[in-house]
Copies of this chain bind each other. A is one copy, B any other.
């Protein structure tokens, strides 16, 4: 609520960020990583962590807030008029935040934080729901499953694919995108054709060699 702080030393600022980053990677591996493990991952002592966060929960809450902001921003970036393309793009963009998504997914399933994450991710959820409705209205998405259910299904499958796939392996992002289009109702050939028409949705989002 009050992001402004009285002037802090730069190493403190740095460490605060380092702890959050460490929490992302540690929790992505083990959703129940201890405070000690997180601190150590950040190269700091457990005691120091408590200088930055009141308790474990405060850390988690800040993590959620951070992640949600990223995701919701991404959701706003997607503007394609074609719901299929929009869904694919959303998936591709979120893929780049894989580690963050994994943590968010884990926390979203953790009884203790369901509420918080649900609330924070509401904008992203709304975007998905809107996409699904549009996709169905345009006759591009499946109609054998009611829109809210389908939206939820897509969320869950996305969660799973991100969480249970080695993000580093080549083609992993493609697999995620293709899977979501399939769940949305497209045949694999239709999805394939769609991606062929939109090469920007494939593989590396940066135009590296």
A residues bordering B, Cβ < 8 Å? 30, 111, 142-145, 149, 153, 156-157, 159-161, 164, 175, 178-179, 182-183, 185-188, 190-192
Contacts and interface: CB of A to CB of B under 8 A. Distances in A.
Contacts of A111: 30
Contacts of A145: 175, 178
B164 A156 contact: yes
A188 B141 CA distance: 8
Given A143-B188, A182-B182, A185-B187, 8 more contacts: A142-B182, A144-B188, A144-B191, A149-B175, A156-B164, A157-B161, A185-B188, A186-B187
B161 A156 contact: yes
Contacts of A179: 153, 157, 183
A167 to B, nearest CB: 14
A142 B175 contact: no
B188 A142 contact: yes
Contacts of A164: 156
A172 B157 CA distance: 15
Contacts of A142: 182, 188
7 contacts: A142-B182, A153-B161, A153-B175, A156-B164, A157-B179, A159-B160, A185-B188
A182 B149 CA distance: 15
A195 to B, nearest CB: 9
A179 B182 CA distance: 9
